[in-house]
Every structure is written in structure tokens, then in C-alpha cells.
A and B are shown apart, each in its own frame.
Chain A
Amino acid sequence: MNLISSLRIALIALRVNALRSALAMLGVIIGVASVIVLVSISEGTKRAVEEQIASFGANLLIIRPGSSMFGGRHGGAGTADPLTDSDVEAIRNEVAGLAGVSGEVNASSTVVFGGVNWSTRIQGVNPDYFSARDWTIAEGRTFSGAEDQSGRRYVVVGQTIINELFDGADPVGQAIRIGGQPFEVIGTVAPKGENSWGMDQDDIIFAPLNTIRQRFGAGIRGTQRDAVQTIYADIAPGESTGRVIADIQDLLRIRRDVPPGAEDDFAVGSLAEFIRARNETESQLGLLLAVGAAIVLLVGGIGIMNIMLVSVTERTREIGLRLAVGAKRRDVRNQFLIESIVLCLIGGLAGLVTGVGGTLIYAQVGQLDIAIDPMIVGIAIGASALVGVFFGLYPAHRASRLDPIDALRFE
């Protein structure tokens, strides 16, 4: 028996009991719809997170001093000995698989250009910083390693600075005063906008790390005049994050004389992982929803199985007749299996429509990130067909094992 006749028989059988078929489908409809909503929301969240990560620098490691131990008491984060320029150098030279390494020191100051002033963050960085943090140079250039070393008074400014100090005009080549000292603008960076907690990332000025340390004393604690507050390490594409972190940890433990068995007195963190961890609550919620959707599909499938068993019983004589006129066992099995799959597929398509509608409503009401991916069509069809096969197999098998004589005699 060919597929088209099987499909026709299935559709006729389902139409005869239209209400019953619709009720049996309900579980599949709800199940598929919740899967669609779930996938769209979790895809949306995932994309939002990936966008955040990309704006920070996708493969960025952040290295900071840890807490100090004094008489068995932990100090706060960052209270351990600071990291230094030589740590930056050591990481750059000894850890494989890094695209760039940069120290960072922070200051804040008032910046003056002509009659305008503006208070902002000043970051002292090494040249690798721009690529590591995915800053794109929009105009002009950045400073070189030699200019960093010699403490040249160059700055690269963000979009907010351009807007506030220069009224949006190209600032390259202009002289500004920071904390009363003259600097030359040599470049600008392309805007990044607000980060995920609403901070304006473009309200910033970058300068050579040595310049800031010399001029503003930033990053200097105690006697260590080569201290940096943070080290950023950019992992080269294709390198293992875990391996690079381990290498950096090994290196810094030796350099900082951490005894074997003792805790690290520094922290190596992956920004991507930090952001992902921050979204973990959301993904756990997603897991819960997934379990819920799976349960609904399971219950829906049991409904399908129930209705198929009823259908097999009701049509025992039909099965007997088909066997008598030459249907093989597999013909009967396929007929009922196809009926079950068709039932579920119709439910799946209805669920797809419901799910997309539900997602759009959810996004409207909840103001949440959603992403409706074409793959949900595949998910809807796949999930419902799977339910159809899995829960249709037993009723279909039962139909195919009927004895033709008993089936024909069935009242």
C-alpha cells in the first residue's frame, strides 16, 4: 500500500471523529507551543548575552590581585600585592595562545578643551588593549609600545568626549588639558554604546599606561611604582580558554611565590564566562521550562496513544477485513502509525502557530529578548512526528497482531 493512500485513509479516519481528534491533539499542540516559546526566549537571551560578550571582547581574560591574608583574616578583593608591568611582560612572553596582553590603570579627572570641561574616566593602557577589548579605531591612530614606554602625552578619546568637548567635530590633532596637564588627541574609537548595566562605555579617554602612572599616580601602591590594577589577556581564536587560564595561573603562582597547596592570591576570570554565569539563572529557568514542555509532550503523547488504542478497537472489523483481503501485518501497522503521525503533525503545526503567537505576546508583555528562528519549524515537525511514532507504535503494533478471524467476528 502506498503512502498517498495511507495518508488519505488516515485523514478520513481523523475527520470522522474530528472533535475527538482535536482533543487528542491538544496535548501535542500545547507541548509544541511551549517548546517554541521556550526556544525563542532562550535563543533571544543567548543572542543578547553573546552581543554583550562581543562588545567586551569575546575571548578576554581579566587578571586581578586577590585578597591578602593577614593573621588568618582575608582582606577585600584586590588587597593582595598588585600585579606589575613585569607580570604583563611575563604573561605576554611565556603564555602561548594569546593575541594580546595589556595592563590597565584607572584615573578620573577633569578634561578641558577651550572653554569646555568634562569629568571622565582616564584609562592608562598598553597598545594591545584596543584589540583585546574590541575597540575599533575610528579616526587617527593609537600609540605605539615605544610611546607608551616613554610616557608620551597622547590620548585616544571615546565618542562621548567628542560630543561633549568638541561638539562632535574631529578632535584628532587638538590639544586638551587633563588635570591641568597638556595632552594631544591622536585618535578616536568607534562608539560601543551602553553596556548591559547601563554604563556609557564611550565616556572614556585612553592614554599610555606609563603616562597615566607618572602623571596621575594611578596604580601605584606602596613602593611598587610599576603596578597595574588589571591585566587583560586576549585569547587567540581557536585556543582553549581553560588551558590558557591554567598556564597564567601556574606562571603567576611562581612569580608571586604562592606556596603549593595555598589559594591563589590573584584571580583569572573570563569575562564571557562571567556574563554567561550572570545569565545562568535565566538558563536554569529555561531548563525548568524545557522539563515542563517535555512533560506536556509526554502527556500529549499518552493522549495520542489512548485515542489510537480506542481507534484500533473501534475499527477491529475494518482491520479484520483488510487482513482478509490481503493486507500484510506491516500494511496494518503502517496505516495506524501514519494515522498517529498525521494526528501529531497537525497538532505540531497548530502548536507552531500558537507558539509563535505566544512568543510575540510574551515579548510584548515581558519586554524580553526573543529570537524566532526558522529552525523552530523543524523543531515543531520533528517533535510532533517523534511523539506520533513513539506513542503510535504500540497501538499500531497491536492492530497488526490481530487475528483476522477474531477481528472479523468482533462486535
Chain B
Amino acid sequence: MSALIECRDLVKTYTMGDQTVRALDGVSLDIEAGDYVAIMGASGSGKSTLMNLMGALDRPTAGSLRIAGEELAGLDADRLAAFRNRTIGFVFQQFNLLPRTTALENAALPLVYAGVPAEERRRRALSRLEQVGLGERVDHHPSQLSGGQQQRVAIARSLVNDPKILLADEPTGALDSQTSEDIMRIFDTLNREGITIILVTHEQEVAEHARRQIVFRDGQILEDRS
């Protein structure tokens, strides 16, 4: 049985002016299904680049990246979009909810692009909002919700398409410590229920929630501890 995520000699370079930056410098890494991983490192260490690759938002310059048995290295933009839609759930630092759109519609957004009929979209988004404790506020717009509530909507959105992997990029970065703790407990619960979670964070307290911590420096893995 192969791992859920298999990175083999992943290289990602960017060209900035006449300089080539090696953001990822030959990273090999396996993440098993059901794992709870925190990726840490200073800014520019390559952790965000790896996150983008694992989220199928970007393609590696070299190396192989297999997620759920599918090789991503050769896929075009639309195939990557379809892959993200069925396999990945995203949680962002800045929530990225659509303004002037209800929590319910925000949570249902990925299903719109999956071609799910309206009635089923509503039902599934509602059940995910209830799961994150927002069942009472489904008709509120983001501007009527607190930061913690907005992030819950975003988590409901990331779960609505039943993804295999939940990618969270500094999910508590814009929240106070109490709210952060609430959000992290939601992640803990979700992981116990079986979903694979990968967090990018620079906060040790957040990283402590994960079972495995991977520290990056200069585009390479510095430390990988469980």
C-alpha cells in the first residue's frame, strides 16, 4: 500500500529577474492517509511552495508528486482544478470567503464547480456548517460573522466536497489565541474522524496539535519528527 502523498526529489525553481531561486531543492516525503502533519519553517524556507504543490495549485519543476495514486506533474490547469475539486480542501489564513454571499453559499461553492445540483449543494453545505457549529448562522454574510466564525465557514467549505486531504495555510494566523484553540480543536476532531490534515504554521503551539512535524530550511527538510 503506497502512501497518500508521495513526493520524490521535488524541485521547484522560480526566476526572479536574472536570478533563479530554488524554492524546493529535491524534497522526498511520504504522508500516510489519516496523518496529521505540521509543516514549519521560516519564510522562504520552501514550506509554502510545498503546500502549493501538494494542493495541486502549482506544478513541480522536476521530480514526481503522486497524490491518491495520481501523478500531478503532467496535468494541465483544468485537470488540476478538477483534481483539487475532488481531493483537496483548503483553509486559508485570510479565510477567503466571498463577500455579500451567505455562509451557506460560501460553504457550497466547491460543489458548484463539481456540477452538484442546487438542492444537494444546500443539503451538504448545511450539514458541514452544522458540523463546525454554525448551523444557526447559515444565512449570515461574512461581514456579520466574527473571525472565528468566518474560519469555521471556510472549514465547512473545505469539507463540503468530502476531500481526502485538508490543507490549512496558517489557519489561526488571523485569530486571537482563544479562537485559535477552538479552531485547532475542530481540526483535531476532523483528524480523529479520519481525514488527513496538513498545516503550515510558524507557531509551535499550533504545530503541537499535529502528530508529525516537518521543519524546512532553504528548500530542504531540516527535521522530520513524529
Contacts and interface: CB of A to CB of B under 8 A. Distances in A.
A328 B96 contact: no
B14 to A, nearest CB: 11
Contacts of A322: 109, 113
Contacts of B57: 324, 404-405
Contacts of A16: 100
Interface string B80-107: 0110111000101000101011000000
Contact of B96 (A12, A321, A327, A405): A321
A5 interface: yes
Interface string B95-132: 01010110000000110111100100000000000000
Given A317-B96, A405-B58, A324 B90 contact: yes
Contact of A327 (B52, B55, B81): B81
Contacts of A320: 96
Contacts of A405: 52, 57-58
Interface string B53-95: 0010110000000000000000001100110111000101000
Contacts of B47: none
A184 B79 CA distance: 95
A319 to B, nearest CB: 11
B55 A324 contact: yes
- Counting chain B CB atoms within 10 Å of each CB, the highest count among A16, A320, A324, A328 belongs to A324
Interface string A243-281: 000000000000000000000000000000000000000
Contact of B114 (A12, A317, A326, A329): A326
A318 B110 contact: no
A326 B58 contact: no
A318 B101 CA distance: 12
Categorize the interface residue count of chain B. 20 to 34
B116 to A, nearest CB: 11
B78 A326 contact: no
B89 to A, nearest CB: 9
B113 A331 contact: yes
A20 to B, nearest CB: 15
A17 B122 CA distance: 27
B98 A325 contact: no
B90 A12 contact: no
A1 B81 contact: no
B157 interface: yes
6 contacts: A321-B109, A324-B96, A325-B109, A325-B113, A326-B84, A326-B161
Given A16-B100, A326-B81, 7 more contacts: A5-B118, A324-B57, A325-B113, A325-B161, A326-B113, A326-B161, A405-B57
Minimum-distance CB pairs A-B, first 3: A326-B85, A326-B113, A325-B110
Interface of B: 52, 55, 57-58, 77-78, 81-82, 84-86, 90, 92, 96, 98, 100-101, 109-110, 112-115, 118, 157, 161
